Amino acid sequence: MFSPKMILIDVDGTLVDSVPDLAYCVDETMQAIGRPGYGEARVRDWVGNGVERLVRRALIGRLDGEPTDEDFEQAYPIFLALYTENTSKRSQLYPGIEDGLDWLKAAGYTLGCVTNKAAQFTEPLLRDLGIRDYFGLVIAGDTLPRKKPDPLPLLHAAEHFGVSPADSLMVGDSVSDVKAARAAGFSIVCMSYGYNHGQDIREAHPDAVIDSLVEIKGLIR
């Protein structure tokens, strides 16, 4: 059991399945520069480290490595323009998210959101899906000088709310979330679904793994 005073929750792959919009924008970007698209299943394994990294992966067709600067400078503005118009058209909350957030809010927990997604996309996405008001603080990927897996965003949130890391819980879906939580001294619960580049998140040894946010009721007090 955990006894957190503050709970931070990731966005992509935890609260929101944003892959349908991201995959659409990747494929449209590839088409615009004269390349074939990849489809949603392939793009799903590349999501989780911000849209810049996603575009770099799409340009080389794999998880690790770097495209040429020329290719990236051509493709990235196209992607950004597309994603600005398609941030939430196809994305949706995972089952149980609203019920889980309602329960956490009613139980009096301080809630924050920490994501590697840029603020220009994070805020509209949370608003469009109706969950922005659950969070007293939203830290996006460009809010601070460093993002997850660096512990800075988590520690910044703890300081903001006046809560110690030992009294803090991170809820995420990826190795990046686990690393950030461990480095910050937070407890970490991961969703069994989500974006962990095709790897089972249990291999990263979070403190607990759940299938739905409503299951957090059985883990905290």
Which residues belong to the active site? 10
Q: Residue 3 burial (CB < 10 Å; 0-12/13-18/19+)?
A: exposed
Rounded distance between C-alpha atoms, residue 210 and residue 221, angstroms: 16
Rounded distance between C-alpha atoms, residue 31 and residue 15, angstroms: 29
What tokens were used for 166?
A: 């030992």
What tokens were used for 122?
A: 């994070």
**Neighbour count for residue 112 (Cβ, 10 Å):** 24
Rounded distance between C-alpha atoms, residue 5 and residue 49, angstroms: 27
What are φ and ψ of residue 138, in 5° steps? -125, 120
Rounded distance between C-alpha atoms, residue 98 and residue 80, angstroms: 28
User: Cis peptide leading into 36, omega within 30 of 0?
Assistant: no
SS3 22: helix
